[in-house]
Amino acid sequence: MKYANIREEEIKIKVRDDFFSEYDYKILGNIDFCITPKNKNPKQTQLFDDINLLWAEAKTGDYDVISMFAQLILTIGKARTFDKTLPPAFLGAFDGKKIAFIPYNAVLDIFSLNDFNWNVTSSNQNTKEFSIIRERVQKSLDKNDYLYDFLKDEKELKFFIKNNLAKATEAGKILINKNNFVPIYLRWVEQVKPYIDFNWEDGKKQNILDNSFFLADLFVDDKGTPVIEDDTPISENLFVVFRNGHYEIAKENLKSLFNATIPFKDKKPYEQFWKKYKRPPLEEFQNYILERKDLLVPQDIRERKGAYFTPRIWVELSQKYIADVLGEDWQDEYYVWDCAAGTGNLLAGLTNKYHIFASTLDQSDVNAMHERIENGALLLHDYVFQFDFLNDEFLPKSKGGKLPDDLYNIITDEEKRKKLVIYINPPYAEHGNRSVFAGEGEEHKSSVATKSKVYSDFNKIVGTAVRELYAQFFLRVYKEIPNSILCSFSTLKFVNSPNFSLFREYFRVRFNKGFVCKANSFDNVKGKFPIGFLIWNLDNKEIINSVSVDVYEDNANYIQSKNFFVIEKNKYFINWFRPYIDRKELELGSLHIHSNDIQQQNVISITSTPTKSDILQKTFSYITKNNLIEVSMYYAIRHCIEATWLNNRDQFLFPNEGWKTDLEFQNDCLAYTLFSNNIQSQFGTNHWIPFTELEVNARSKFESNFMTDFINGKVKIENQNVDLFSQQETLSEFETLKGLSTRLQFSEEAKLVFDAGKNLWKYYHTQEFPSFRGVDSNAVGRRGVYNVNASLYDIREHFQGRNEKGKMKNKSDDETYMKLIAELRTALKILAKKIEPKVYEYGFLKE
């Protein structure tokens, strides 16, 4: 067996390196082995046309191929991954010995099976669903024998990957329909048009515009052969055709004015582009597309200084989501009002100008939109108007107001209102500052945001939430345009922030569908947090409890789905920890307590004493023998999960009871904390040495052996926290539970951390120190002095030294030390990975 006795994660890495090194690799939701072509230009935007070559399931050892495929297919069907990104050419399954492939098309129809329960656990082989899929896979495998032993069939496998997999990229293409042909055209203008060798000015004089070339491109088959029959409406409507690899003017009377053939300056961009879309468009849309050739006009996006734009990829994706919820014909069936339109970017790509209203605060933005209309933007002059949504009254123009009468009639008609989509990317920061998203948790300078009419209308009803400008937009829509559909970009605060609890009481709506993307993919936004696009039905009055959204990364690549939760009052992590807080007397050290979400993890620290501000603001707890375990849990839980843009606003929660009896988990947290705190012996006795003098060859006795005594069960903790446990539990049960009368048992992962830590301590105690006590001339601190009581921090300081500004340097010249500290960090990472799933299991975080 090629990959024997190694873990699944390592097999994946080895298979990737040995066979797929020429491709990109990623994890896609629950599909943990996904191969895509190498993206040579990561900046290029790829809206839901990310090309996938392979989605595969991996196992260790010699596993049953069919079961692996069945599990993979259940995973895909459950997440409906194919709705969010292009499916691959092949599905795969591999273990330590072999790899097998099935063409995706061979199992495609499984995903549309009626009455199929996709919610079964994909790894459970005993379900009816698992058997159905097994059977289907079996059939496909019988027909297509793509099974390779990594050792015996290495050559054939490499040949297969090179010739079948890589070349099959065209298998999953986007179908062109009436909702996406305009965005596809806009992208074509950017990516293909510049490479056509044509004099556009000459063309314009004869009304031959770029859209003629785009249509010529559309009406060919995959091989580039025209699919138009003579004397059909299609052929009559095409001014340009694509034939024999180049363009030709199709209109007889114009032929003489142009060259007989119009070639490419470079044909590659064209070829690349059309790999992503299936041509010609679906038959039922062909005539529509030709009739609406007028929609194919270049987007005139003029970036105005300071103006804030929704990036094109998110505009397109948001429109796809609306179409998913409201149906393919939504633009004809619904009206759209963007009441924070700016210069109208969000409306780009929409096609039915008779159904679109756009209003915004600044007259200059309205003027810009009017100018754009003259240049072909798909908006109606009279439906674009100045309107301060947070102050102006809903009054029709005919009665001296600002609203177009048509819009007023919709707003005031209960039935028509149900067909009104409020489609916005509202301002986020305080009024007047449109370029910045409000940092979450940040209090706004209340000045302008608190001056609006909506603010005074709602401030008593929804409390502090009303300071958010976007919340003000939501509130007015909710109250004055009831039953409409709200499709809006915003932060997720109104779902998961405690400050929005009154808001959520009031704002009762049904969530339909949505996605999140990185806030800093928007212009001028620096913060690393998620921005959502969520679709709400205001017709259904429901309390928001949670929302499940799709997550997209930079190039609109779907990566996974994620839940955002509303958290009940008093159910935060800090509510759990509060009873363990001790502010009576300094004993072992101090824990800095701060906030409740992942983003602030770096400020959670353990030091020898609290800071002045900690004492003033009561943001600390002394660490004592009685709360050491809970403090370690607080510390390790807050640190073990890396903060990312997606999770960093996730709130830690009041856990379930599971942790109480899980001594291994508690001790893992202790081990993690012992080897990552900032205790310094200069500020008092160091009680945090997790080894005996003998174990680390110390040159004299330690001042304190508290930690080894504690680990050995020699420290008796007092019963102060017993009442925190359920009433049935007696003190002795509690003590047994905590294992305090016996030596603490550590997991293998924790032991590795102890071993790595011990090597570091030992190495410190072997160092030669100058015979005098004094300060190293190169650094501030006590580097030159042997300190038998050295803490982890002291040891780091000894080897790394400090710079002129007094800050500890990142590295040391001592290679052995660098190796030892790196080993400790790796061991800590492994331990953190072990703690992480328990954090979710015990409800300290929700997934």
Ligand X SMILES: C[S@@+](CC[C@H](N)C(=O)[O-])C[C@H]1O[C@@H](n2cnc3c(N)ncnc32)[C@H](O)[C@@H]1O
Task: Point out which residues bind ligand X (CB under 6 A).
Answer: 308-310, 338-342, 345-346, 360-362, 365, 388-390, 425-427, 434
State the nearest-atom distance from the C-beta of 424 to ligand X, in Å: 7
Residue nearest to ligand X (CB): 342
- Taking the least distance from each CB to ligand X, the nearer of 362 and 587 is 362
* C-beta of 77 vs 342, nearer to ligand X: 342
* Cα separation, 20 vs 35, whole angstroms: 8
Q: In what order do the strands lie in the sheet with 557-565?
A: 384-386, 356-360, 335-338, 420-424, 485-491, 530-537, 510-518, 546-553, 557-565
Q: Which CB, 280 or 426, lies closer to ligand X?
A: 426
Nearer to ligand X, 391 or 656 (CB): 391
Nearest distance from residue 448's CB to ligand X, in Å? 10
**Cβ atoms within 10 Å, residue 780:** 16
Nearer CB in complex with ligand X: 390/544: 390
Whole-angstrom Cα Rg for the chain: 32
CA 236, 238, 240: angle at the middle one, nearest 5? 135
The whole-angstrom separation of Cα 391 and Cα 221 is 54
Residue 468 CB, nearest distance to ligand X (Å)? 12
**CB 364 to ligand X: min, Å:** 10
Nearer to ligand X, 228 or 369 (CB): 369
Quote the DSSP letter at residue 334: S
Q: At its nearest, how many Å lie between ligand X and the CB of residue 594?
A: 31
Q: Do residues 534 and 490 touch, judged by C-beta distance below 8 A?
A: yes
CA separation for the pair 442, 576 (Å, rounded): 24
Q: Which is nearer to ligand X, 301 or 559 (CB)?
A: 301
Q: How far is the CB of 315 from ligand X (least distance, A)?
A: 7
Q: Which is nearer to ligand X, 312 or 783 (CB)?
A: 312
Q: Tell the smallest beta-carbon distance from residue 350 to ligand X (Å).
A: 12
Contact 274, 217 (CB under 8 A): yes
Residue 388 or residue 729: which is nearer to ligand X going by CB? 388
* Residue 737, C-beta contacts closer than 8 angstroms, at least 6 positions apart: 660, 661, 663, 729
Tokens matching residue 808: 């500890």
DSSP-derived letter for residue 25 is E
Contact indicator for 309, 360 with CB cutoff of 8 Å: no
Nearest-angstrom CA–CA distance, 524 and 435:
6
H or E segment and range at residue 19: helix 8-19
Kind and range of the H or E run holding 218: helix 210-218
| 636-673: b (≥16 Cβ within 10 Å) or e | bbbbbbebebbbbbbbbbbbeeebbeebbbbbbbbbbb
* Closest distance of CB 400 from ligand X, Å: 19
Rounded Cα distance between 543 and 402, Å, is: 34
Structure tokens at 91: 């599905």
Which CB sits closer to ligand X, 404 or 655? 404
In a 3-state reduction of DSSP, which class is residue 532?
A: strand
CB 388 → ligand X: shortest distance, Å? 5
Is 530 in a helix, a strand, or coil?
strand
d(CA 184, CA 176) in angstroms, rounded, equals 8
Q: Which is nearer to ligand X, 361 or 547 (CB)?
A: 361
Between 69 and 385, CB nearer to ligand X: 385
Please report which helix (H) or strand (E) contains residue 531, including its range.
strand 530-537
For 593, the 3-state DSSP assignment is: coil
Nearest CA to 523 out of 342, 377, 367, 348 is that of: 342
**Distances in Å between the alpha carbon of 307 and those of 190, 241, 303, 368, 439?**
22, 40, 7, 12, 19
**Within a 13 Å sphere around the CA of 25, how many CA atoms are in the beta-carbon half?**
14
- Shortest reach from residue 345's CB to ligand X, in Å: 4
CB of 472 to ligand X, least distance (A): 8
CB of 9 to ligand X, least distance (A): 41
Q: Which is nearer to ligand X, 93 or 340 (CB)?
A: 340
- The C-alpha atoms of residue 695 and residue 754 are separated, in whole angstroms, by 11
**Cis peptide upstream of residue 280 (ω within 30 degrees of 0):** yes
The minimum distance between CB 475 and ligand X, in angstroms, equals 13
How far apart CA 730 and CA 499 sit, in angstroms, is: 39
Minimum distance from residue 226 beta carbon to ligand X (Å):
39
Q: Enter the tokens of residue 707.
A: 């930690």
Closer by beta carbon to ligand X, 383 or else 577:
383
Is 151 or 395 the residue whose CB approaches ligand X more closely?
395
CB of 362 to ligand X, least distance (A): 5
